[in-house]
Amino acid sequence: MHDPTPHEGGHDPSHESPFKGKTGWRRIWNALHYSMAGLKAAYRCEDAFRQEVWLALVLIPLAFALPVSGTARALMVASVLLVLIVELLNSAIEAVVDRVSLENHRLAKRAKDIGSAAVLIALLLVATVWASILGGSA
């Protein structure tokens, strides 16, 4: 028994969105453009993302300049990149919440607060990883 494709069983992605259903190189090319547009929008519109990009531009080269093992360097860089990833997701959540409604609502506040908490945890991870490695306990 095989898993049905989206087209089998009446689930044609092109009926869900005009942007679905592209395949192959065309899909990859479109995805690249959407991703670049997302990065540009986040940098232009989100102060926190902009600050974290600048932090990454300092910390990532520093990780390569420090005399640490390859594994330690990978952890240092990955922890910084994780902050950017989490911030992008948080910004997306905030944009969707604001798109749905700008009125104050407990669920909107909860969604935004949870996204912010995720960013905080990612930042604490950077501090923990870097402190552990630079402090010699890694």
Residues with catalytic function: 87
Q: Assess contact for 95 and 115: CB atoms under 8 A.
A: no
What is the distance, to the nearest Å, from the Cα of residue 51 to the centroid of all Cα atoms in its chain? 15
Please tell me the distance from the alpha carbon of residue 20 to that of residue 67, in angstroms, as a whole number: 47
Q: The tokens of 58 are what?
A: 């300092």
Helix (H, G, I), strand (E, B) or coil at 19: coil
Half-sphere exposure (Cβ direction) of 98: Cα atoms closer than 13 Å: 7
Q: How far is CA 3 from CA 7, 11, 13, 15, 52, in A?
A: 11, 13, 16, 20, 42
